[in-house]
Structure 1
Amino acid sequence: MKRPTESQTFHPLTDVISRIRSVADQPEVSVGRILEAAGQAGVLPLIFVPALIAATPLSGIPGVSMVCGVLIALFSAELILGMKEFYLPDRLKRKTIDGNKLDHAMARITPMMEWVERHTGQRLSFLFHRPLLWVPQGICLLSGMAMPFLEFIPFSGSIAATGVCLLVMAMLTRDGVVFLFAMLPYAVGAWLLVRFLL
Structure 2
Amino acid sequence: MNRRGTRTPVTSLRTLMRSLILNTEGQDVSFEELMHAVGRRAHGPVLLLIGFISISPIAAIPGATIVFATLTLIFALQVVAGLPHPWLPRRILDFRFRRDILVRGAVVAERYAHMLDALVKPRLTFLTEAPFIQLVALLCVMAALITYPLSFVPLAPFLPGLTILLFGLALTARDGVVLLLAMAAFTGGLLVVIRILPRLAALWPF
Q: Give 2:88's aligned amino acid.
A: L
Q: What corresponds to 1:85 in structure 2?
A: 85
How far is 1:145 from its partner? 3.3
Distance 1:195 1:42 in 2: 35
Q: Describe the shift of the 1:172–1:69 C-alpha distance in structure 2 as closer, same or farther (beyond 3 A).
A: same
Q: Which has the higher mean CA deviation after the structures are superposed, 50-59 or 20-29?
A: 20-29
Q: Deviations over 1:146-171 (max 9, x none)?
A: 32342112222121010111111111
Q: Give 2:106's aligned amino acid.
A: M
Q: What corresponds to 1:71 in structure 2?
A: 71
Q: What corresponds to 1:5 in structure 2?
A: none
The aligned runs of 1:166-177 (5 Å cut-off) are 166-177=166-177
How far is 1:104 from its partner? 0.3
Q: Describe the shift of the 1:129–1:32 C-alpha distance in structure 2 as closer, same or farther (beyond 3 A).
A: closer
Q: Describe the shift of the 1:177–1:77 C-alpha distance in structure 2 as closer, same or farther (beyond 3 A).
A: same
Q: Which has the higher mean CA deviation after the structures are superposed, 84-93 or 156-165?
A: 84-93
Contact 1:121 1:173 in 2 (8 A): yes
Q: Describe the shift of the 1:142–1:190 C-alpha distance in structure 2 as closer, same or farther (beyond 3 A).
A: closer
Q: What corresponds to 1:109 in structure 2?
A: 109
Unaligned 5+ segments in structure 1 are 1-8
Contact 2:38 2:46 in 1 (8 A): yes
CA RMSD of aligned residues (A): 2.2
Q: What corresponds to 1:60 in structure 2?
A: 60
TM-score if structure 2 supplies the norm length?
0.81
Q: Describe the shift of the 1:25–1:16 C-alpha distance in structure 2 as closer, same or farther (beyond 3 A).
A: same
Bigger-Rg structure (1/2): 2
How far is 1:10 from its partner? 6.9
Q: Deviations over 1:41-81 (max 9, x none)?
A: 73322222122111123222211111111111222122232
Contact 1:11 1:42 in 2 (8 A): no
Distance 2:192 2:95 in 1: 30
Contact 2:44 2:170 in 1 (8 A): no
Distance 2:192 2:142 in 1: 17
Q: Give 2:65's aligned amino acid.
A: S
Contact 2:17 2:110 in 1 (8 A): yes
Distance 1:129 1:87 in 2: 21
TM-score if structure 1 supplies the norm length?
0.84
1:12 and 2:22 matched: no
